[in-house]
Structure 1
């Protein structure tokens, strides 16, 4: 009679999970190596970009007069983000720069998010630093309400109250206003951008032998201010400057009150950016 042998088989744990687990570890290791390599590359690029910014984003404020301008224009800080545009009533014009030749219409670019080139980024930082320098100068010299600086999409705009520069109804600089104009020239020293000086008046009519209308008054104020700042700072290039008179036709406020008319009588200095972002 044959003897049946009962065979005993040991139960082994299921180890098939080790295969996908090892694959997962391999993928994680590969991902770590790739990320580590990318971080090293970005770190190097950021370091190089930072060095170029440090050497390139310096606005020369001491070129004009003797003794320099380091104490008058402290300038060892970086600027914050661009300030928002002003709230201007719908009845008056918006805060627009003077028209530039060959500039595309605003509707063609205003709604498009376009990348900044390195040159455009460099210029943006330079213009923001200029704005900060002007704001520091305003505070140090008690000129709040007389002079202001604002960043815009097209560059930086300085706005000067007319009474800070000219006698009423005249276009020559008052002697006591020449220091302010000379200091503005120092602030603009070394900038490569196009600079437009624009004169504005209120809507009160003028009719003199020199100024038959507000066109002539605003235009001569812009020209005289431009000529003076060019005479004060040798590094400023006349070919980068232009002057324009708008008369009463670009008001900031309604001309229905003395306060509104005072706001509208002004000289604006536009530093127009040269680098524009482009699509790739």
Structure 2
């Protein structure tokens, strides 16, 4: 009698639930990537990842299959040259700001120069006063015969009026430092008051500054004086005319930022 062999079939677990489960995990992963990416990267990188994810879900190549992955975090600032929205570096921005300040100062000093030049013209002082705007200052040059008697450091009455007028103009530009410098010719001096031209030039500068400072609207902190004696001539000392030019007081309104030589301004505006 032939025995009937029972066929045993192994029971298989139903695994169809794995498919939606895997899809759910994929969707969750995509969601976390999008949330992470949107908080740490710019719009271009965000769009790139979105396109990759869309391609992956529709059967194309995914973001993770790309040979070069777009970084989610920008490189450190020390590794790149910082630029503003216009693509300018910090150094370029600083240079532009400095140039704007120079232009502003130039305009202000030109304005002051015009006021002094007008005063010179109105009072027929062309032979006694002169202004010059350079790359680092506005200089007012006053011949000594307009200020002092020969060998003296005491200001003449008219010179005191001139100093008061200049001080009134300077009150409108409180941001600038002012230097008052005295100069002489090379003729030696020796009298009861002064031993050398150094002493005479320094005392003349101080006395002129004191008249400027009688204006209570001007801060003394803005001022300094210096006596150059005979050692900074602007003309020859071999002629009487040259000596007269060398005897002078210079009032210099100093720029806060030195202007490049290529942008210097001289002469009348």
TM-score, structure 1 as length reference: 0.56
| Runs of at least 5 residues in structure 1 that lack an aligned partner in the other structure | 1-112
SS of alignment partner, residue 117 of structure 1: helix
Bigger mean CA deviation after superposition, 239-248 or 180-189: 180-189
CA-atom RMSD in angstroms: 1.8
How many equivalent pairs are there? 165
Structure possessing the higher relative contact order (Cα contacts under 8 Å, 6 or more residues apart): 1
Residue 116 of structure 1: how far off its partner (Å)? 4.5
TM-score, structure 2 as length reference: 0.59
Indicate if the aligned counterparts of 2:136 and 2:257 stay in contact, CA closer than 8 A: no
Aligned to 2:187: 204
> CA offsets, 1:178-219, max 9 Å, x none?
111111111211321110000000000001121100000000
Matched, 1:142 2:121: no
Distance verdict in 2 for CA 1:121–1:206, change over 3 Å? same
After TM superposition, the structure 1 = structure 2 runs for residues 143-182 of structure 1, keeping only pairs within 5 Å, are 143-182=125-164
Aligned to 1:241: 223
Counterpart-to-counterpart distance in 2, 1:156 and 1:176: 23
Counterpart-to-counterpart distance in 2, 1:222 and 1:253: 20
Aligned to 1:23: none
Counterpart-to-counterpart distance in 2, 1:169 and 1:203: 13
Residue 239 of structure 1: how far off its partner (Å)? 0.4
Matched, 1:221 2:204: yes
| Runs of at least 5 residues in structure 2 that lack an aligned partner in the other structure | 1-94, 261-269
Residue 120 of structure 1: how far off its partner (Å)? 2.3
Counterpart-to-counterpart distance in 2, 1:187 and 1:219: 24
> CA offsets, 1:8-56, max 9 Å, x none?
xxxxxxxxxxxxxxxxxxxxxxxxxxxxxxxxxxxxxxxxxxxxxxxxx
Counterpart-to-counterpart distance in 1, 2:139 and 2:160: 20
Larger Rg: 2
User: Which one has the bigger helix percentage?
Assistant: 2
Counterpart-to-counterpart distance in 2, 1:277 and 1:151: 11
Counterpart-to-counterpart distance in 2, 1:121 and 1:269: 22
Matched, 1:129 2:111: yes
Structure 1 runs (4+) greater than 6 angstroms displaced:
none
Indicate if the aligned counterparts of 1:253 and 1:264 stay in contact, CA closer than 8 A: yes
SS of alignment partner, residue 156 of structure 1: strand
